[in-house]
A and B are shown apart, each in its own frame.
Chain A
Amino acid sequence: MSFARAACAAIAGMLIVAACEHPGGSGHDPVVYRHAIDGIPASLDPAHAANVYSSTLVVNLYDTLFRYRYLSRPYELAPNLASGMPEVSEDGLTWTIRLRENVRFADDPAFPDKRGREVTASDVVYSLGRHFDPGTRSQGAWLWRDRIAGLEDWIDAGADPDRRIPGLYADDDSTVVFELTEPYPQLAHTLAMALSAVVPREAVEHYGREFGVRPVGSGPFVLEHFDETRAVLERNPHFDRGELDLAAEGHDRQRHAELGLDVLDGETYPFLDRLEIHFITEPTARWTSFVAGEVDNVMVPPEQADRVLASRDPIRFTPEFERRYHTQAEPEAGFVLYGFNMANERIGHHPDEHIDRANRALRCAIRDAFDWQERNDTFYQGLGQIFPGVIPPFLDAFDPSLDTRSTDHDPQQARARLQAHGWTPETLPQLTYGLEASVHQRQMFEQFRARMEAVGIPQNRLRSRAFASFGDFSRAIGNRELDLFFMGWTMAWPDAQYALQLFYGPNAAPGANSFNYSNPEFDRLFERAARLDEGEERTALYRRLNEMIIDDCVHIGSLSRTRLHLWHRHARMLPDREMLGGYFLRFVDIGATP
């Protein structure tokens, strides 16, 4: 046989194989939604779901007791695996939560007969208890530590799941009881986090370490495929939560008119047969993939903002993009800020009152010298919301009348402060500015240093220290090695307590208080506020705490970024990546392409 014949035969063979390869199916075409996210979830074990990427998957594979209503803003809790909201005793110490009946885990070889069994209150207790087993490597134990009666003794005795935790138990198959050491109004929010999702003990024990890639839950979807680039989820046949009640989910006919959600009211969800979640870290690839129609949504990369926006204030998309896609400009539930290391006596707390005052003046001068608007325009396309303190505008406790001078760029004031306290280029301390090794972070450092130089803080007084990874950067902060650092904080629940805990003394590094701020009065008020239910008194306390941080110049900030979302017109949904979410995916439907 000649070479040409052989080649023709090979090509013909390939075409035949290719024709046979097409995965066809009889019946209706499956309803598929392809969702793009900008990061990769490392693990699907709920105990590791502390970031938005893992959470997006975990809340769709597992059930949490509560969730956030789909369309309500401000965010509102709703029962999920629970049959109703918790019954809380008068003193706030005993919480009783009842579970829905007939909720089943997905079928899996981990179960004796490979059929998923009913989810019980004992599963909830087990799922929370396993956070305290060191072998779980939990990222969520801090949410409940010191909060549940008898928990510490139970941990000291080996965190044996067969032994009862005095303050966390199943009263019967469908009732979970929490007995708390002190009121903890945020408990319900923690039970809406992916970290609290309910897992079957059989699967955890069957898969061991591999449980992170072999999820077995009772959520709306089950995992069909998972690798470093995508996860494919299919509808869980056991999942039955009835019909979608749009009004109960916070649907507003005017505000949500464009989304075309009305047709879904009263329909049984989830609406998708298949949910594909694509992990596309490269912004260009994400954008190109969206434009080519390979994914149904995109969070607009910064370099495309000029192209999609007609105006920035107010934010308006161009008519072309408005016509072709659904559009949304969503402020993040979080913020970025600069922090000072208050444990360093050269710039932070000092036992000598005079030096302490001078250090405060230096911190305030640095804050005055920094230009948030320039940062916003250079790195956030001018779309971010700058606000004083750490209570972002999306929270009820946000005070719109709060003095904004702490976020103003005021070089004159900065120079005056330095002069008044005798700070000169010779007496200024050398400060270590920590950053992750990236061009972006390096540019931010240069911008920061240029603003400092403009008020008389020489370049050699600010030394950058770059870290190869986030883990290294966190280690340096945890070890209190840095004087200044730029960080982000994502809110896990819509309550200012979550932001203010960043400054609570007992949370000092390696805890969330990376600033090592230590103020007994702050701690006292924080503890008081944290025990209160939502109300005027709590809001007033939160605002007072916020002012204390601003007065002490512990941080420079803050700014909430605005995320621009686009999605194809055939997708009926309102995307939301905040509150470590992903709950909205169960309500997504794909209609006919217009």
Chain B
Amino acid sequence: MTPGIELLRFITRKLAASLPLIFGVTLISFTLTVHLGPDPAYAMLGKNPTAADLAAMQRELGQDQPFWQRYASYLRRLATLDLGHTESSGEKVRDLLARTLPVSFLLLAPGFVLGTVLALLLAMFAAWHRSGRLDRLITGMSVIGMSLSFVIIIIALQAIFGVWLGWFPVRGWEVHGPASYLNHVTIPTLAFVLASIGYNTRFFRAMLVNAMTADHVRTARAYGASPIHIMCRHVLRGCLLPIITRIVYSVPALAISGSLLMESHFSIPGIGRVTYQAILSGDQPVLMAVVGLSAVVFAVAVTVADLLCRLADPRIRLA
């Protein structure tokens, strides 16, 4: 079997195996939303409704239909990407996602990339100087970073760079091109990096320290190879699999969930804020679209992670 066909078969098999996962996630979330979630009918009625108004609104929202009929209709909509309209504003859910997903991605991607790269570099320094001063300093700073509340970091950065120095806007997202993008994304990126770097550094350091105890690394050191060579060629490669898995598994959250805290505090019209509002108001079309897409993207991410792991370590079989 050629590698191309093997790959194609693997992807097909993996995605097919994800179908029960997607089915399960959508069924559970749909059940929870319908039976335990907020009832939009009450929130959508005026201040003085009658029982007849309530019944009419419930009919209008399709709440009078049997559960399985509603679930089947939802799956059909998800499969055809006809996600309907939001209950609150009437906007097409597809348009809403197309409008907010890129914003969340553009907001979080720089912080994610920068935070990961910086954490990896710091972890490499700490691991190389294990138990030394530099290691203790980096580990200590990581613990402080992990202890800081994300909200406090956001407020402090807004006060320093937005109010005192006046270098960047405190909030908003009026992006017309690269300059305005940098203007609006800088503080959120800094906040994201500061909030995530502690966790990432600790995680990467633990992986790297473990990998450094391997025989082939000691052999390389004994040969007198340079630290950069040892770190990049031997240590990093040795612990690439958990790092890849962690990074790739973070992407669905980055792409779909957004960051509620960031989007709320910086008033950014991303998917996190929209999802949160939908949860509060019980806007089922939006909620179910986000949950359904999250399940699909997660299934794809699992497949991609497996493929990347195979690329990183050819010993892994695409089974």
**Chain A residues with CB below 8 A from B155, complex form:** 284, 288
Interface of chain A residues 42 through 61 with chain B (CB within 8 A):
42-45, 48, 50
**Chain A residues with CB below 8 A from B57, complex form:** 134, 137
Q: How large is the interface on A (under 10, 10 to 19, 20 to 34, 35 or more residues)?
A: 35 or more
- Which one of B161-169, B223-231, B236-244, B309-317 is at the A interface? B161-169
**Chain B residues with CB below 8 A from A40, complex form:** 277
B170 interfacial by beta-carbon distance below 8 Å: yes
Cα A40 to Cα B46 in complex, Å, equals 17
A468 interfacial by beta-carbon distance below 8 Å: yes
Contact A17 B53 (CB under 8 A): no
Determine how close the nearest CB of chain A comes to the CB of B32; give it in whole angstroms: 11
The contact of A230 among B43, B89, B172, by CB within 8 Å, is: B172
A348 interfacial by beta-carbon distance below 8 Å: no
Contact A17 B45 (CB under 8 A): no
Contact B172 A213 (CB under 8 A): no
Given A280-B171, A282-B264: A474 touches B90 (CB 8 Å cut-off): no
Cα A461 to Cα B38 in complex, Å, equals 27
Cα A21 to Cα B163 in complex, Å, equals 25
Contact A228 B269 (CB under 8 A): yes
Closest to B175 in A: A21
Cα A137 to Cα B264 in complex, Å, equals 28
**Chain A residues with CB below 8 A from B88, complex form:** 42-43, 212
Closest to B168 in A: A292
Contact A139 B92 (CB under 8 A): no
A540 interfacial by beta-carbon distance below 8 Å: no
Contact A281 B264 (CB under 8 A): yes
Determine how close the nearest CB of chain B comes to the CB of A228; give it in whole angstroms: 5
- Which one of B10-18, B134-142, B176-184 is at the A interface? B176-184
Contact B90 A209 (CB under 8 A): yes
**Chain A residues with CB below 8 A from B202, complex form:** none
Determine how close the nearest CB of chain A comes to the CB of B58; give it in whole angstroms: 11
Contact A292 B48 (CB under 8 A): no
Given A21-B177, A209-B90, A294-B172: A230 touches B267 (CB 8 Å cut-off): yes
Contact A472 B38 (CB under 8 A): yes
**Chain B residues with CB below 8 A from A139, complex form:** 44-47
Cα A145 to Cα B88 in complex, Å, equals 23
B273 interfacial by beta-carbon distance below 8 Å: yes
Closest to A507 in B: B48
Cα A511 to Cα B53 in complex, Å, equals 10
Contact A289 B170 (CB under 8 A): yes
Cα A475 to Cα B41 in complex, Å, equals 9
Cα A405 to Cα B40 in complex, Å, equals 40
Cα A35 to Cα B268 in complex, Å, equals 17
Determine how close the nearest CB of chain A comes to the CB of B151; give it in whole angstroms: 8
**Chain B residues with CB below 8 A from A294, complex form:** 169-172
Contact A21 B48 (CB under 8 A): no
Residue interface mask A221-259, B partner, CB < 8 A = 1: 000000111100000000000000000000000000000
Interface of chain B residues 37 through 87 with chain A (CB within 8 A):
37-51, 53-54, 56-57, 59-60, 85
Cα A208 to Cα B158 in complex, Å, equals 41
Q: Which of A230, A279, A289, A468 has the most CB of B within 10 A?
A: A289
Interface of chain B residues 197 through 235 with chain A (CB within 8 A):
none
Contact B42 A510 (CB under 8 A): yes
A135 interfacial by beta-carbon distance below 8 Å: yes
The contact of B267 among A23, A209, A280, by CB within 8 Å, is: A280
Given A18-B177, A23-B176, A279-B267: A471 touches B162 (CB 8 Å cut-off): no
Closest to A280 in B: B267
Cα A37 to Cα B203 in complex, Å, equals 42
Residue interface mask B84-121, A partner, CB < 8 A = 1: 01001111100000011000000000000000000000
Determine how close the nearest CB of chain B comes to the CB of A230; give it in whole angstroms: 7
A181 interfacial by beta-carbon distance below 8 Å: no
Given A21-B177, A230-B172, A511-B48: A213 touches B91 (CB 8 Å cut-off): yes
Contact B38 A468 (CB under 8 A): yes
Closest to A136 in B: B60
Determine how close the nearest CB of chain B comes to the CB of A507; give it in whole angstroms: 6
Closest to A43 in B: B89
Q: List 21 A-B contacts (CB under 8 A).
A: A21-B176, A42-B88, A135-B60, A209-B90, A213-B90, A228-B100, A228-B273, A228-B274, A229-B268, A278-B267, A280-B267, A285-B170, A288-B170, A292-B163, A470-B280, A471-B40, A471-B43, A474-B43, A510-B51, A511-B50, A512-B48
Closest 4 CB pairs of A and B: A18-B179, A471-B43, A21-B177, A212-B90
Chain A residues within 8 Å of B, Cβ to Cβ: 14-15, 17-23, 40, 42-45, 48, 50, 134-135, 137-143, 145, 208-213, 227-230, 278-282, 284-285, 288-289, 291-292, 294, 468-472, 474-475, 478, 492, 501, 507, 510-512
Known: A14-B178, A143-B46, A510-B51. 19 other contacts (CB 8 A): A21-B176, A21-B180, A40-B277, A42-B277, A43-B89, A139-B46, A141-B53, A212-B89, A228-B273, A280-B171, A281-B264, A284-B155, A292-B169, A294-B171, A469-B281, A471-B43, A478-B42, A507-B48, A510-B45
